[in-house]
Chains A and B, each alone.
Chain A
Amino acid sequence: MLALIRPDSWNLPLFVHVLGAMVLVGCLVCAGGALVIGWRRDSGALTWLAFRTLLLGALPGYVVMRIGAQWVYSREGFHGKLDAAWIVIGFLTADLGALLLLVTLVLTGLAARKLRAAGSGTSALGRAGGAIALVLVVAYVVAIWAMTAKPA
């Protein structure tokens, strides 16, 4: 029952971490949903919307989440040696997730630009970006499980 015994000094970093994570996951759901819905029609508008959501929502959300994670990590007195499995899962999903987030941002941005120039049609880059966004959502659900269930 960590919530019952958590020191007050962990609360602010934890709040920053969870707030950033909620914005990140929410924006990934928005972008992934828009890109999947745009696979067959209105691809240009929805890809543009997904790119803006990733750039203005998911990316800042990631930064806030990662700063909060490092902050709460240091407050809890961890030092990088023999970290518990749930911390390793958290770092893996956060750091690999950053790479995938940047990849989906670039792919979606290129797709939005191409579709805007073309005026209509669909884009394989946008589809790939949508698939990666949904993979990220699944990865972050696993991270939420690790953060809450805290496997040894």
Chain B
Amino acid sequence: MYDWLLFLHVSCAFAMVAGELLFATVFIARARLEGWAAAASLSRLSNLGEVTVTIGSIGVLVLGIWLAIYVDGYELWDGWIVAAIVLWAIYGAAGTRSRRVISRARDGAAELSAADSNTSAVPRVLALRVLIFAAILLLLLDMIFKPGA
């Protein structure tokens, strides 16, 4: 049971990172692929990221809590587990906000340029992407080093 919980928990973490890398790749590609007329395909790639991030991020939290309850020696109120839940919440909030800005912008090329010029969507998304990857990096450090455990 423990082995399967851990495998699924780690797999969900990999799926979460894969989805975020997909979003980052699409974000960079949108700027670099002008003239290729690949906007629709990039949206499909972005949808794949949406699926992997949703499954991965929910799975990693649910299975992580399950593991904390299941394993003797871990408690939900352990410092490193509380830190992980807080980091997950920061990651989730930044991810949701970032995807909202991107989906508003990807509705059309005209809207994208309007968003770029009027509300500076690109720097905001960039800042949120940095926050997302910083939270993921801290989550990984927390999971491996387990400070205070």
Residues of A within 8 A of B (CB): 1, 3-4, 8, 11, 14-15, 18-19, 21-23, 25-27, 29-30, 33-34, 37-38, 41-42, 44-46, 48-49, 53, 57, 141, 144-145, 147-150
Residues of B within 8 A of A144 (CB): 7, 10-11, 14
Interface of B is mostly: helix
Total number of B residues with any Cβ neighbor in A under 8 Å: 37
Complex contact B18–A49 (CB within 8 A): no
Within 8 A of A (CB), among B1-57: 2-4, 6-7, 10-11, 13-14, 17-18, 20-22, 25, 29, 33, 36-38, 40-41, 44-45, 48, 52
Using A41-B41, A144-B10, A144-B14 as known contacts, say yes or no to A49 and B145 having CB atoms under 8 A apart: no
Starting from the known contacts A4-B73, A42-B37, A141-B11, 16 additional A-B residue pairs (CB-CB under 8 Å) come to A3-B6, A3-B146, A11-B144, A15-B141, A19-B140, A26-B22, A30-B22, A30-B25, A30-B45, A33-B22, A34-B45, A45-B36, A57-B25, A144-B14, A147-B10, A149-B6
Q: A148 with B40: in contact, given A22-B13, A29-B18, A57-B21 (CB under 8 Å)?
A: no
CA distance A4 to B41 in the complex (A): 45
**C-alpha spacing A89/B144, complex, angstroms:** 22
